[in-house]
Structure 1
Amino acid sequence: MTIVDNRHQQAMERIQKAFDYVFQQPTLLVRALTHRSFSAENNERFEFVGDSILNYSVAKMLFVAFPTLTEGELSRLRANLVNQDTLAEIATELHVSEALLLGPGELKSGGYRRPSIMADAMEAMFAAISFDADFNTAEKVVCHLYAGRIQHINPKDNGKDAKTRLQEALQARHWALPKYRIIDQIGEIHEQQFVVQCDLGELGFQTEAAGHSRREAEQQTAQTALVWLDEHHPLHKGRKK
C-alpha cells in the first residue's frame, strides 16, 4: 500500500469534496492518482475502465440535452468533451496535480502539469469510484463535473472550442491568425493563474484573461475576440481582399 503524506491527503480530501463523493476505500483513490513512474501499482489499468465510463456518461448527457442532433453531431460534441485537453482543464480546476504521486524524474520535469498525466488521473478516478461503489455512482460524478460545460454548448458550433472558431473566422476574412502569449503568472504553484493575451495583429485588437491553466485563459481571450470580431467585422461585409 502506498503511504501518502499530509499534503497529498489534504489534496485528496479536496478532490472528494469537489466530486461530492467520499471513498469508502481510500486506497482506490490513491491508486488512481499514482503514476507509473512512482510505483508498479499505478493507475494505468484504471484508466482503461474510466475511459469507458466517461464516454458513456457524456454520450448519455448529450443524447438527453440535444434530442434533435444526429449521431455524427453528437459524436463531434462528445469528442471535444472527453479529450485530453478538457480532462486536463477539469483536473486543473480541481487542483488534481497536488494529489498526484509521481516519481522523481516526472516531478523534476514538471509532470504534475502535463495534460496527459492529469487526464489519465481523471479517468482513473472515475474507475476508482465505480470500484468503490458502482457504475451509477461514477456516472453521477461525471455528470456533476460536466453539467456546466454541456449546458453552455452551442450545437451550431459543432462542439468547436473558441480558439478553433476564432481561427476559422479570421481565415474566412483572409486575416492573419491570432497570437497568444503569457504575460504574467500569478500565485503559488498549486494555485497558479496564467494571464494570457490574444493579439489580432493588424486589426489592432488585444484582449487578456486569467485562468488556472494556459489553455483556459487562451479560450477565454479567444471568446472575447470572437465577440469583438463579429461586432466590428461581420463576415457579410468588410471582408478584406
Structure 2
Amino acid sequence: MTELSRHPLERLLGLSFSDPSLLQEALTHKSAGTPNYERLEFLGDAVLELVVTEQIYLLHPALDEGAMTRMRVALVRRESLAEVAKRLQLGSHLRFGPGERKSGGMHRASILADSFEALLGALYLDSGWEVVREIIKSQFDWDKLQSASADGLKDSKTRLQEWLQAKNLPLPDYAVVRIEGREHDRVFTVRLTTSAVEKAVEASASSIKWAEQAAAALALEQLER
C-alpha cells in the first residue's frame, strides 16, 4: 500500500489496516445501512474501559477504588470521547444516510463518541491489544486528568443527584445487599435503584461509602452515553 492510498486516519495514527473493511465498518453510521459501527462500538467500549482502568491504576497508586472510579467516569464520558474524535476529525470521515448527514450527524457528540469507540474496536481486531493500547494512551491528556483529580472531581453521588434533579426525577435509593469477607477485610455490595435506568446497578468496595460512589458512577456511565 502506497502512502497516497492510505486512509487519512491511517496516516494520522501512523498505521495501516490489514483488513480495510474493518475501518470502513467503523466509519459507517447505522443510517447508511449494514454493516455499520454498532458491533465494533460495543467491542471498543470494553477495550477502552480496560485500558483506561489500567492506566489509572498504574499512574495513581495511592488512589482507592472510589477515586479511581470517579476518574474513569470523567475520562470515558461522552463529552471526553467526542473531544478525542474531533481531534481525529472522525466526523468528516463518517458515512451517513442522507437524512442523518443533513441533520448534522457528523457534529453530534454522541455519534462522535460512538465512532471513536468503534475505531478502537476495529484497531483491536486488526492490530491487537498492544497497538490499540498505545493508541488510547496517546489520545488522552493524562496529566490534565491528574490535575483534575487533584482539584477534586465532584463525587459521583452528587453528580447523579444533580442530574436527576435537573430532570425532575426522584433521588436514587442505595441499599447494602451483601457483605463478604473477614471482619478486617470486608467487601460491601450496594444496589442503586433509580427510575432513570432500567435495571438496578450494583457495585462493591471496601466500605459502604465507596460502594455507593462506585454504584453512582456506574449509573452515570449509563446516563451520560
* TM-score tier (shorter): 0.5 to 0.7
2:127 aligns to what?
133
Question: Aligned-pair RMSD on alpha carbons?
Answer: 1.8
1:37 match: secondary structure: helix
Aligned 1:1-241 pairs, distance under 5 A: 13-146=7-140, 149-152=141-144, 153-154=146-147, 155-159=149-153
The gaps in structure 1 that reach 5 residues or longer are 1-9, 161-241
Deviation at 1:158, TM superposition (A): 3.5
Report % sequence identity: 34
Residue by residue over 1:146-186, the C-alpha shift from the partner in whole angstroms, topping out at 9 and shown as x without a partner, is 2xx112222223346xxxxxxxxxxxxxxxxxxxxxxxxxx
Quote the Cα distance in structure 1 between the aligned partners of 2:86 and 2:15. Answer: 18
Instruction: Give, in whole Å, the separation in 1 of the partners of 2:63 and 2:15.
Output: 32
Residue deviations 1:53-90 (CA, integer Å, cap 9, x gap): 00010111111111101111011111111111011111
Q: Take 2:51 and 2:142, find their aligned partners in 1: how far apart are those partners?
A: 12
Post-superposition offset of 1:13: 2.7
**AA partner of residue 110 (structure 2):** S
Distance in structure 1 (CA, Å) of the matches to 2:136 and 2:46: 12
State how many pairs are aligned. 149
After superposition, give the CA deviation of every residue in 1:87-113 in whole Å (9 maximum; x if it has no partner): 111111111111000110101100000
Contact map agreement 1:46 1:124 (CA 8 A) in 2: yes
CA distance in structure 1 between the partners assigned to 2:135 and 2:47 by the alignment: 10
Deviation of 1:130 (Å): 1.0
User: Which consecutive residues of structure 2, in runs of 5 or more, have no partner in the other structure?
Assistant: 155-225
Conserved? CA contact 1:77–1:158, under 8 Å: no
